[in-house]
Amino acid sequence: MPSRTQYLSDIDRSHVWHPFTQMQDYVSSNPIIIERGEGVYLYDTDGNRYLDAFSSVWCNVHGHRVPAIDEAIHEQLDQIGHSTLLGLGNVPSIELASKLVNITPEGLNHVFYSDSGATAVEVAIKIAYQYWQQREDPRPQKTKFLHIASSYHGDTVGTVSVGGIDLFHKAYGPLLFETLAVPAPHPYRCSFCSEAIECNQGCTQALEETLERHGDTIAAFVVEPLVQAAGGMLVHPPGYLAKAAELCRDHEVLLIVDEVATGFGRTGRMFACDHEDVSPDLLCLGKGMTGGYLPVAATLASSPVYEAFLGDYEEQKTFFHGHTFTGNPIGCAAALASIDLMFESNLLDEVQSRIDHTAARLKELADHPYVGDVRQLGLIAAIELVANKASRRPYDWKSRIGVQICDIARERGVLMRPLGNTIVLMPPLVISTEQIDEALDVTFDAIDQVVGAA
């Protein structure tokens, strides 16, 4: 008679197709089956404990089994589980929209709900395209989208089109629409300032030149603010976002900011835009909005963008887009509870000492012979491993350096996922300094075990 874990593992490997997972490897492994969570820890069906050092893919804010969020969900279940927003309203979605308008950058007054970060960006792309076709002074030639190389905005066809990671996107080339790309602001591997003592803002100049040449045909610039997440946790130089916003205004290009990964405290501020006082035309939210509980996302629009969709019925200016579970009441109730808890617990103040502690610990890697770059913003940290520190030569991706390190960490009770040769730590914001030490001690030891000791 197989154990419960074995029974579930057999079904899992036979029938569940996992995202971003090579299933040939997975079906020959002994998968972890998560059964419950408590605080920053996850527990599998055998009772083993794991520190959730990647926030269940960058979305958990307050830890698992949070009483305030649990209670809000239970209370909403006593009312109704779901009601459509197609021509109707529901209480939690209305209350959440008001809350989002109040806490996001000024001028974002209208909320369109969806169910994931990718759909939030997809919504923004379609809104931006339609806006130029039907505003009072139409600019029908503005149909192209500009994005940053090595960016990632999701896996729908529209978001893949404005992405730039070949490993994820190359296979779908024939499905995608044509876009324009500008170089990624990547201080460690910057082609503009590789020989300079300090950043020369060459990436900003490249953006400016592209907008000068093509601004008349560009509908919007899509950007992950301050940190390109799946691209390797690339931290942009200070001022890049603010300058991009200024250039977009100068060239009449809408600015779409994708805060799916950076929003709700990840960078030490409520939103990454707050660091540089940027108010975009469209703001995309997801992941941490519900505290990591439920799939709710939102695209916030400025009033000028929203008003381009107003008109008589026969004008057909309606935004013909929607999702079955748009504005789901249970998800919106969870989001309201999570946001309220952030303020009630002074989380953004409390997290600062954890950010500082993480920074101090990461300095221990400064002289490691196989650590090329350490990047951090808020509680987002990345350790890029290199085969040669002097030349910055990367390891061949086939060597699976990042995978090996994360596998060892998992065996020692810390869950992470690598981005190629880059190890990422993005824990829940409530993690203690002792738990940060637990995660980093295991990570440092795993690095030494795989690539050699410092």
Tell me: pLDDT of 199 over 80. no
Task: Tell me the mean pLDDT in the region 47-76.
Answer: 98
Work out how many domains the chain is built from and give that number: 2
Q: Cα(323)–Cα(85) distance, rounded to whole angstroms?
A: 9
Does 178 reside within a domain? yes
| pLDDT tens by residue, 396-432 | 988 999 999 999 999 999 999 999 999 999 999 999 9
Q: Cα(262)–Cα(59) distance, rounded to whole angstroms?
A: 10
Q: How many CA atoms lie within 13 A of 133 on its CB side?
A: 13
Nearest C-alpha neighbor of 428 from the set 55, 44, 6, 33: 55
Residue 258 shares a structural domain with residue 178? yes
Does 104 reside within a domain? yes
Residue 321 shares a structural domain with residue 242? yes
Extract the tokens encoding 69. Answer: 């969020």
Task: Tell me what pLDDT residue 114 has.
Answer: 97
Task: Tell me the mean pLDDT in the region 214-232.
Answer: 96
Final residue of a domain: which of 324, 344, 364? 344
Does 164 reside within a domain? yes
Structural domain that includes position 244: 70-344
Tell me: pLDDT of 170 over 90. no
Tell me: pLDDT of 1 over 90. no
CATH number at residue 437: 3.90.1150.10
| pLDDT tens by residue, 153-163 | 999 999 999 99
CATH number at residue 110: 3.40.640.10
Residue 437's pLDDT band (boundaries 50, 70, 90)? very high
Higher pLDDT among residues 110 and 189, named by residue: 110
Nearest C-alpha neighbor of 327 from the set 74, 76, 97: 97
Tell me the backbone φ, ψ of residue 360, rounded to 5 degrees. Answer: -65, -40
Query: Are 338 and 62 a contacting pair, CB within 8 Å?
Result: yes
DSSP class per residue in 96-157:
HHHHHHHHSSTTEEEEEEESSHHHHHHHHHHHHHHHHHHSSS--TT--EEEEETT----SSH
3-class secondary structure, 351: helix
Task: Tell me what pLDDT residue 397 has.
Answer: 85
C-alpha 179, offset from chain centre: 21
Tell me: pLDDT of 197 over 70. no
3-class secondary structure, 74: helix
Tell me: pLDDT of 168 over 90. no
Residue 110 shares a structural domain with residue 211? yes
Residue 291 shares a structural domain with residue 329? yes
Residue 183's pLDDT band (boundaries 50, 70, 90)? very high
Task: Tell me the mean pLDDT in the region 333-337.
Answer: 98
Residue 336 shares a structural domain with residue 292? yes
- Which percentage of the chain shows pLDDT scores above 70? 98
Higher pLDDT among residues 153 and 191, named by residue: 153
Task: Tell me the mean pLDDT in the region 234-261.
Answer: 97
Does 2 reside within a domain? no
Residue 98 shares a structural domain with residue 181? yes
Query: Are 420 and 232 a contacting pair, CB within 8 Å?
Result: yes
Residue 224 shares a structural domain with residue 307? yes
Q: Cα(265)–Cα(304) distance, rounded to whole angstroms?
A: 28
Tell me: pLDDT of 198 over 90. no
Final residue of a domain: which of 295, 313, 344? 344
Residue 196's pLDDT band (boundaries 50, 70, 90)? low
Residue 93 shares a structural domain with residue 37? no
Does 333 reside within a domain? yes
Mean pLDDT, the chain, integer: 95
Tell me: pLDDT of 190 over 90. no
Does 1 reside within a domain? no
Residue 210 shares a structural domain with residue 317? yes
Final residue of a domain: which of 328, 344, 360? 344
Task: Tell me what pLDDT residue 195 has.
Answer: 56
Residue 194's pLDDT band (boundaries 50, 70, 90)? low
Does 17 reside within a domain? no
Nearest C-alpha neighbor of 123 from the set 112, 139, 131, 136: 112
For residue 410, count other CB atoms closer than 10 A to its CB. 17
Q: Cα(51)–Cα(341) distance, rounded to whole angstroms?
A: 22
Task: Tell me what pLDDT residue 452 has.
Answer: 85
Extract the tokens encoding 26. Answer: 């997975």
| pLDDT tens by residue, 256-289 | 999 999 999 999 999 999 999 999 999 999 999 9
Residue 243 shares a structural domain with residue 256? yes
**Which residues in 348-367 are b (16+ Cβ under 10 Å) and which e?**
beebeebbebbeebbeebee
Q: Cα(379)–Cα(377) distance, rounded to whole angstroms?
A: 6
Residue 99 shares a structural domain with residue 161? yes
Q: Cα(199)–Cα(95) distance, rounded to whole angstroms?
A: 44
Residue 352 shares a structural domain with residue 340? no
Task: Tell me the mean pLDDT in the region 128-142.
Answer: 97
Query: Are 434 and 67 a contacting pair, CB within 8 Å?
Result: no
Does 291 reside within a domain? yes
Terminal C-alpha separation, the chain: 47
